[in-house]
């Protein structure tokens, strides 16, 4: 079964088959990690994303990765935190499931995720870590082609939160 790794750093620098983007439903770019990925990858990503017709919350769609070291960007749309009673956790789980399904369909063996929804979208990082890691742990059992999922955390605090919820 594939392994889960944690790393503190910049996801745009990762040499993996696919990096996952914390996108919005329009898929045409934005701030945060989305902005960083589009800046580093160049205009090809946006040109391709334009053809995808947006993406629902909880779903994920792929483009190639332009100038990035990765081969693909999988644009996953996480939920906006509304207090916790609006299905946010399930939608966060869903976008991780869908991103891993898409990665497997594309033959990716290594995949890097940021902490989806924990920035502009306001999802509490402790709960996000639990959902993201728990979902990934379960999904790796059914996606035998995926050898490594790397969570790339930007801040020390996020890295520590993920470390505390790493499945044994
Ligand atoms: N590498 C890894 N993580 C990063 C990087 C990076 N280069 N840059 C930021 N982060 P956010 P969201 C972390 O706000 O909450 C955008 O405008 C950041 O510190 O990027 O899902 C989209 O277009 C945080 O921990 O994504 C959407 O409209 C995490 O990435 C909206 O924001 C996610 O923060 C999505 O909001």
Taking only the tens place, the pLDDT of each residue in 42-65 is: 999 999 999 999 999 999 999 999
Residue 167: its pLDDT value, please?
84
User: Does residue 121's CB lie within 6 angstroms of at least one atom of ligand 1?
Assistant: yes
> Over pLDDT 90: what percentage of the chain?
98
Q: 142: CA distance to ligand 1 center in Å?
A: 28
Digit-coded pLDDT (tens) for 60-101: 999 999 999 999 999 999 999 999 999 999 999 999 999 999
Question: Of all atoms in ligand 1, which is nearest to the CA of residue 152?
Answer: 2
Q: Report the distance separating Cα 4 and Cα 150, nearest Å.
A: 6
| Gap from CA of 144 to ligand 1 centroid (Å) | 28
Pocket lining: 78 vs ligand 1, CB cutoff 6 Å? yes
Mean pLDDT of all residues in the chain? 97
Helix axes 156-164, 125-140, angle to 10 degrees: 50
What per-residue confidence (pLDDT) applies to 164?
Answer: 97
* Strands laid side by side in the 60-64 sheet: 3-8, 148-153, 110-113, 18-23, 72-77, 60-64
Q: Which domains can be identified in the chain, with CATH numbers?
A: 3-164 (3.40.220.10)
Write 119-123 long-range contacts (CB < 8 A, 24+): 119/22, 119/32, 119/33, 120/30, 120/31, 120/32, 121/22, 121/78, 121/79, 121/80, 121/81, 122/80, 122/81, 123/78, 123/79, 123/81, 123/88, 123/92
Check residue 1 and give its pLDDT.
Answer: 85
Q: What is the mean predicted confidence (pLDDT) over 125-132?
A: 98
Which of 13, 22, 96 should be mutated for ligand 1, with most atoms under 8 A from CB? Answer: 22
Strand partners, 84: none
List of residues 6+ apart from 138 with CB closer than 8 A: none
d(CA 62, CA 51): 11
**pLDDT score at 104:** 98
Element (H, E) at 148: strand 148-153
Q: Is the pLDDT of residue 168 over 90?
A: no
d(CA 105, CA 60): 12
DSSP string, 82-106: SSS-SSHHHHHHHHHHHHHHHHHHT
The number of the ligand 1 atom at minimal distance from the alpha carbon of 22 is 21
Which phi and psi (to 5°) does residue 156 adopt?
-60, -40
Of 13, 20, 27, 33, which is best to mutate to test ligand 1, by the most ligand atoms within 8 angstroms of its C-beta? 33
Q: Is the CB of 31 under 6 A from ligand 1?
A: yes
């Amino acid at each position: 079964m594939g392994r889960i790794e944690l790393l503190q750093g910049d996801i745009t620098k990762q040499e993996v088959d696919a990096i996952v983007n914390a996108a919005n439903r329009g898929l045409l770019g934005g701030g945060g990690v989305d902005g960083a990925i589009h800046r580093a990858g160049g205009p090809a990503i946006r040109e391709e994303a334009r053809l995808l017709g947006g993406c629902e919350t909880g779903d994920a769609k792929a483009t190639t990765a332009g100038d990035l070291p990765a081969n693909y960007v999988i644009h996953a749309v996480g939920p906006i935190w509304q207090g916790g009673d609006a299905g946010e956790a399930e939608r966060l789980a869903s976008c991780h499931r869908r991103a891993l399904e898409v990665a497997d369909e594309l033959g990716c063996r290594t995949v890097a995720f940021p902490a989806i929804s924990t920035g502009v979208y306001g999802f509490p990082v402790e709960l996000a870590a639990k959902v993201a890691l728990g979902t990934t742990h379960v999904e790796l059992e059914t996606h035998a082609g995926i050898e490594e999922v790397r969570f790339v955390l930007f801040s020390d605090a996020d890295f520590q939160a993920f470390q505390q919820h790493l499945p044994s």
